[in-house]
Amino acid sequence: KRAEWYQTVSPIMLERSLERTVLANGSQQLAQRRIWVMPLPTRFADGQALPRCDSAYEDDEFADVADVADTSVKYTQRPEQRIALKRIRGQPSNKAVIGAAVELAARAEQDGLHVRKQEGRPVILHLCYDAKIGFNSRAMISMSNWISMPRLLQDNQVAVYIDG
């Protein structure tokens, strides 16, 4: 008999944007901001049964990585958002994702839409359909899986946010 049931959700989303970071010497540097979005299964939508949203580690495991300025984990209810989407086939490399997003933003602007930008570049949302995140009955992340698929079946989407 099965002792535990798991619910998986997909896509996992990665939002990428640019922001200026102030360095210790007071100068500024352009830095990437990455937000991983892992949707909850609908059975936990009321938020009542959610565990504390903290790390199991005493210390931040990324604190000694020079390129990582800050980390945090939190529950957030995202507002309704308007996005333009483009499908990308094959391996979702940085080059493929960024290239598709820049092309998509240019087309959206040609159509008269206002694309959300930071530091002059579009804010990118990568929808990873070949990744799954699993939750157990206690609403805790219990597994994550990046599914290896043949190139023909690799299917992801890139989006840019549309304001207004």
Rounded average pLDDT over 27-48: 82
The pTM (predicted TM-score) of the whole model is 0.78
Task: Quote the mean pLDDT of the chain.
Answer: 83
DSSP string, 47-61: STTPPP---SSSS-T
**How far apart, in whole angstroms, are the C-alpha atoms of residue 89 and residue 93?**
10
Write the pLDDT tens digit of every residue in 56-103. 545 555 556 566 666 777 778 888 899 999 998 877 888 889 999 999
Q: Which of 29, 5, 10, 27 is nearest to 19 (CA)?
A: 29
pLDDT at 31 over 60: yes
**How far apart, in whole angstroms, are the C-alpha atoms of residue 133 and residue 144?**
4
Total residues found in the chain within this entry: 164
**How far apart, in whole angstroms, are the C-alpha atoms of residue 71 and residue 63?**
8
- Give residue 84's Cα distance to chain centre: 16
Number of C-beta neighbours around residue 14 at 10 A:
17
